Chains A and B, each alone.
Chain A
Amino acid sequence: MWVGFLMTLTVYPLLSLWTLGCMAVFPAAFLLFKFGTRWSTERIVRFFIWIYGRGWIALVFPFVRFSRKGLEKAASIQPVILVVNHLSFFDTYCMALLPFYNVAFAIRSWPFRMYWYAPFMRMANYLDVETSGWNDASLQAKKILERGGNVLFFPEGHRSRNGALGRFYSGAFLLAVETGRPVIPLVISGTDVLLPPGRRRLHPARIRLEALPPVEPRRFSGPTAHIQLKKVVREAIGRRLAEIRTKR
């Protein structure tokens, strides 16, 4: 119990300092990358967001054991559409466990109200699927994929309140069918122990991020192709999540 108390007392201030430090360094680092690499703005910012996430992983490392599985396969077939179950606010930070950085998140509008993160999210061309509506979000996502970026969805739309896998919204799967890009189902576990929804106190946890085999949208056809794809991916994530929980 005292470990959780210690963790809460140390991680939040360190995270604030890390955030402020990154924001202070960003303008100079951005210019350096812009002229040194000729990368696009969105690619550079996604790279820095990934580094920021790596920093967060280092901060919680004394309290959290991380493990990864199957992610190299996802890295080898980019660009892809990543779909991941959603358990905690810190799920997004854990995406720094991915072995690649060029990922645009498709998220609801509330994260864009975090004024300290919003400018970076906009520069990284993150998708606000709630405000922009599906047609615009879909066009934006297709352009990101065309430029070699990956798009990541939390298809449940919000964090699970009880750990159970919620129903999936269709956006990610319709995008996969329309673009022909494979879907990589990601299973995250343990972040609900680290920080359950609605809580502020942190707890030591074992966090695992696992990529399941890619699902090719061309396996499905007809007007219900995206619905079939959604069901297959949801079943795969649900099955693996149940297996992981049984082993816990």
Chain B
Amino acid sequence: MTDKEIIEKINTALAEEFELDEASMVPEAHLFDELELDSLDLVDMVIVLEQAFGFKIREEEEIRSIRTLGDIHAFVIRKRHQRLQSS
């Protein structure tokens, strides 16, 4: 899966779960201010991403620093690469 495909998969999963307008889903979109997610949505988002990509990330400290959609893209891509390298 390429990085572009990962980003598309993330955006599709989040758009479906949180009914986000695809046009608003730009990397710099702030999760709270622009996409109007709340702290509980972040918990749900972790679950959605775990289901979409088949890995566990809920214990990751790095999740707390995620602020934008681009941060999510970068985080998941990094996790995917780490996973591939370790397997």
- A133 / chain B contacts, CB cutoff of 8 Å: 39
B47–A170 contact, CB under 8 A?
no
Instruction: Give the contacting residue for A223; candidates B17, B19, B39, B47; CB below 8 A.
Output: B47
Identify the A interface with B (CB < 8 A): 133-134, 157, 166-167, 169-171, 174, 223-224, 226-227
- A171 / chain B contacts, CB cutoff of 8 Å: 40
Do A134 and B39 form a contact, CB below 8 Å, given A224-B47, A227-B47? yes
In the assembled complex, the Cα of A132 lies from the Cα of B57 at a distance in Å of 26
B47–A169 contact, CB under 8 A?
no
Q: Provide the main secondary structure of the chain B interface.
A: helix
Chain A residue nearest in CB terms to B40: A170
Interface footprint category on B: 10 to 19
In the assembled complex, the Cα of A133 lies from the Cα of B40 at a distance in Å of 10
B38–A169 contact, CB under 8 A?
yes
Chain B residue nearest in CB terms to A130: B38
CB neighbors of A among B37-76 (8 A):
38-41, 43-44, 47, 51
In the assembled complex, the Cα of A102 lies from the Cα of B51 at a distance in Å of 39
Do A167 and B18 form a contact, CB below 8 Å, given A223-B47, A224-B47, A227-B47? yes
In the assembled complex, the Cα of A116 lies from the Cα of B51 at a distance in Å of 47
Among B36, B39, B43, B44, max chain A CB count under 10 A is at B44
Identify the B interface with A (CB < 8 A): 17-19, 36, 38-41, 43-44, 47, 51
Do A227 and B44 form a contact, CB below 8 Å, given A167-B18, A167-B19? yes
Given contacts A157-B36, A174-B40, 16 further A-B contacts (CB under 8 A): A134-B38, A134-B39, A134-B40, A157-B38, A167-B18, A167-B19, A169-B38, A170-B41, A170-B43, A223-B47, A224-B47, A224-B51, A226-B44, A227-B17, A227-B44, A227-B47
**From residue A68, how far is it (CB to closest CB) to chain B in Å?**
30
Do A169 and B39 form a contact, CB below 8 Å, given A223-B47, A227-B47? no
